[in-house]
Chain A
């Protein structure tokens, strides 16, 4: 199999790595945002509950 010239091959390799890194970044972002939001709500609720006691 002839090797693709660097500039052509570069596109594909870059594409593959971009896919991989995007998956990670998007995943971490989604979960991170979820945790941050839940964290906030938990502290709010805890304060509310303490206020009652």
Chain B
């Protein structure tokens, strides 16, 4: 059921995740400005980076799908995007918590990462209604891939535009999101980033396994129905 590399991958994710948690709370020094609140940065920013990469990866897989016509690429693309949307929700929630803790408001417009994410999240939420309102499965996959590619190209453009705009209305020092990190913080951040990336790939493979299993089940049911129409549960 599980592909060969899965168990070591899952183990590696668990180990890296634990390592990053230990580093965050016992190794990384307290930030001079923000104090303990800055610790949120180690979960919020890696989630954002991995989610953005997930969206772009979903777009790349969609390109493979369109060029090859192979539906398994569409499945991979769908799962990548699906997970990135969930991560994106996490980015918005943790970002909001950070904003509340740092600046007293549940939302701030002068954090370009957060604002970009809101736009990207709103866009990708349309993926589901678009996908599931097309009935023909081949067409559904094709149109979803077109969306994934368009949205994937949109993500970097949007990020640039929002950042440029915020530089105007809210000039601020970008050091909070990793302009230049002292050594211990940088190590902690990189480990957290690695943990998040490994986690994403593990869960991506996990969900793909589930989807393949579901398809296998459907196939078996159909075979059974072909032989004994009455016996199908």
| In the complex, chain A residues whose CB is within 8 Å of the CB of B67 | none
One of B117-125, B155-163, B201-209 at the interface: B201-209
6 tightest A-B contacts by CB? A3-B35, A12-B101, A9-B36, A45-B220, A38-B213, A16-B40
> B: which residues have CB within 8 A of A?
1, 30-31, 33-37, 39-40, 43-44, 47, 86-87, 89-90, 93-94, 97-98, 100-103, 199, 203, 206-207, 209-210, 213-214, 216-217, 220-221, 223-224, 227-228, 231
Q: A12 and B227 in contact (CB under 8 A), knowing A6-B36, A17-B43, A20-B43?
A: no
Given known contacts A9-B36, A34-B213, what 11 new A-B pairs fall within 8 Å (CB)? A3-B33, A6-B36, A15-B97, A17-B40, A20-B94, A32-B206, A34-B210, A38-B216, A45-B224, A46-B220, A48-B224
Interface of chain B, main secondary structure: helix
Interface residues on A, range: 20 to 34
A19-B94 contact in complex given A1-B33, A49-B224, C-beta closer than 8 Å: yes
